[in-house]
Amino acid sequence: MTYLLILRGINGGAYHQIRMTTLRNLMTMAGFTRVRSYANSGNLIFDSRLEQAACEQCISAVLAANIDFPLNFGVFSAAALLRDFRQVPTWWTGTGPRQHLCLFKLANYDEATTGLREPLTRLDHVVATPHLIFWTVDASTGFQHSAYGQLFGTPFYQQTSARSYRTTLRLIQLLQERAR
């Protein structure tokens, strides 16, 4: 089965630096196959005979043993993400004066305590699927005034990991190629 691993909060600045080569090697040594990274922000595609829960446990142990800072992550089956991506809203197109994000619900995401309860502004457009949240902000009036711009540091923000429109499309393309 093919999976996507999303790591949150790495390689965004001077802190929490992890080389993708190191991550690929750790994953391979843990028994995962066809490990491939995309970009430098913690996106890894891999194959495994293990079920998703077993993959999560293995990856958690590997990260705890080899990374010296806490690291939140999510493991997603390619089939589940491709199903979710078929629900992409028509306004999530990457065009216009908007910022398009795809938020991945990480392993510790808790809908009951973390779910979207805050009222959205007129700048925000949101559609949630079981594993993804498609979020577009009308950037012409200022990202900081959007509901998403107010989420930094909240439990919701800590339990999701955002990818840009372009990165999300490339990850989906890579998963589709693996599925063939």
Domain annotation for the chain: domains and CATH numbers: 2-80 (3.30.70.1280), 83-165 (3.30.70.1260)
Query: 87 or 112, which is more confident?
Result: 87
Section 125-154 average pLDDT: 84
Number of H helices, E strands in the chain: 6, 8
Q: Which residues partner with 99 through β-bridges? A: 137
State the pLDDT confidence band at 117, using cuts at 50, 70 and 90: low
Q: Does 11 have pLDDT greater than 80?
A: no
Prediction pTM value? 0.92
What is the predicted pLDDT for the residue at 146? Answer: 82
Residue 118 scores a pLDDT above 80: no
Q: Rounded to an integer, what distance in angstroms lies between the CA atom of residue 14 and that of residue 69?
A: 13
CB count within 10 Å of CB 87 equals 12
Amino acid letter for position 119: P
- Of 1-15, 49-63, 98-112, 121-135, the one with minimum mean pLDDT is 1-15
3-state secondary structure of 42: coil
Res. 102 pLDDT band, cuts 50 70 90 = very high
Q: Averaged over 153-175, what is the pLDDT?
A: 92
The SS3 call for residue 144 is: helix
The H or E element spanning position 112 is helix 111-114
Structure-block tokens of residue 115: 């779910």
pLDDT attached to residue 13: 64
Pairing of strands 33-38, 43-47: antiparallel
CA–CA gap between residue 31 and residue 106 (Å, rounded): 22
CA distance 100 to 123: 12
What pLDDT, on the 0 to 100 scale, is given for residue 80? Answer: 96
Bigger pLDDT: 15 or 120?
A: 120
Contacts of 30 (CB under 8 A, 6+ apart): 58, 59, 62
